[in-house]
Amino acid sequence: MTAEVNPLDLTGKHILVTGASAGIGRATCVLLASLGARLMIHGRNEAELNRTLTMLAGDNHSMSLMDMSQTDELAPWVQQLAAEHGHFDGFVHCAGVQITKSIRSFDAEFFDQTMRTNLASALAISRGFRYRRPKAQQGSIVLVSSIAGLIGQPGNIVYGASKAGLMSATRGLAMELLRDNIRVNCVAPAMVETEMAQRTRDDMTQAQFAHIEAQHPMGLGKPEDVANAIAFLLSDAAKWINAVTLPVEGAYLAN
């Protein structure tokens, strides 16, 4: 009889997941914990983050609250977490904001807030993640981008730019962190049934949302669909996959 092999096994890996209080972040935490990972989950909403904690297999997980727009506080925050709980093997960046806004209402504050929360946070946390990390063990970073960074959508310009920035940052980080034995990859989901998507839906007419839905040949995604891709990229099964953006979009882009 052969031993059972799970290529996605994450036993013994310590993983930081931002944006874990809802949607893709929460589903990712549930999956990673079931694959054996020890998690440090991050969010802004303490009650919802606690709820995520209760959904996780195992009892060795921790949580931490942090405002992702406070760019310069993020690297020290991660370094402190690593000092207190042990270095991280993985980092999944699900935290992000999406506000539907026309270019007619564009201003610096809206731009800065979106870019800091979605893009600068990924870089600042990567800085803290790699700091004095043992190089012998391969590390893996997965940034959650969006197909909004690959296509054009009215009212979604700044969000799209921040997500395109994540794809570019993935490639740059992957090259710079080669010497640290850290892989950096990215997933780009189409619309997934999350609280964030619900807010987008609320901002639109029924006809507008029906149009978006119709652009998804396989229907809208589930948070678990994206979590599966993230778990794969984090795992040793992807140990020779680096600097890529994996679209997770039910054939949206082929349509």
Partner 1 sequence: MNKQEFLNALEEILELDADTLTEDQVLADLESWDSLAFLSVIAMADEEFDLVIQGSKLEEITKVGDLIGLVSEHLSEAA
Torsion angle of the four alpha carbons 10, 77, 128, 113, in this order, in degrees rounded to the nearest 10? 100
Report the residue number, 131 or 209, with the smaller CB distance to partner 1.
Answer: 131
Report the residue number, 71 or 162, with the smaller CB distance to partner 1.
Answer: 71
How far apart (Å, rounded) are the C-alpha atoms in residues 77 and 80?
Answer: 5
DSSP string, 145-169: --GGGTS--TT-HHHHHHHHHHHHH
- For the CB of residue 82, give the shortest distance to partner 1 in the complex, in Å: 13
- For the CB of residue 83, give the shortest distance to partner 1 in the complex, in Å: 13
Contacts of 235 (CB under 8 A, 6+ apart): 7, 8, 9, 10, 35, 140
- For the CB of residue 135, give the shortest distance to partner 1 in the complex, in Å: 8
Classify residue 59 by its DSSP letter.
S
**Which pair of structure tokens corresponds to residue 16?**
């930081």
Residues within the interface to partner 1 (CB under 8 A):
131-132, 176, 179
- For the CB of residue 221, give the shortest distance to partner 1 in the complex, in Å: 38
Report the residue number, 104 or 179, with the smaller CB distance to partner 1.
Answer: 179
- For the CB of residue 179, give the shortest distance to partner 1 in the complex, in Å: 7
Q: Which of 77, 88, 129, 159 is catalytic?
A: 159
Classify residue 192 by its DSSP letter.
B
How far apart (Å, rounded) are the C-alpha atoms in residues 68 and 165?
Answer: 16
Contacts of 99 (CB under 8 A, 6+ apart): 110, 114, 158, 159
159 annotated active-site: yes
Report the residue number, 86 or 217, with the smaller CB distance to partner 1.
Answer: 86
Report the residue number, 79 or 228, with the smaller CB distance to partner 1.
Answer: 79
**Which pair of structure tokens corresponds to residue 215?**
């652009």
How far apart (Å, rounded) are the C-alpha atoms in residues 169 and 172?
Answer: 5
Count of other CB atoms within 10 angstroms of residue 40: 23
**Which residues does the annotation mark as catalytic?**
159
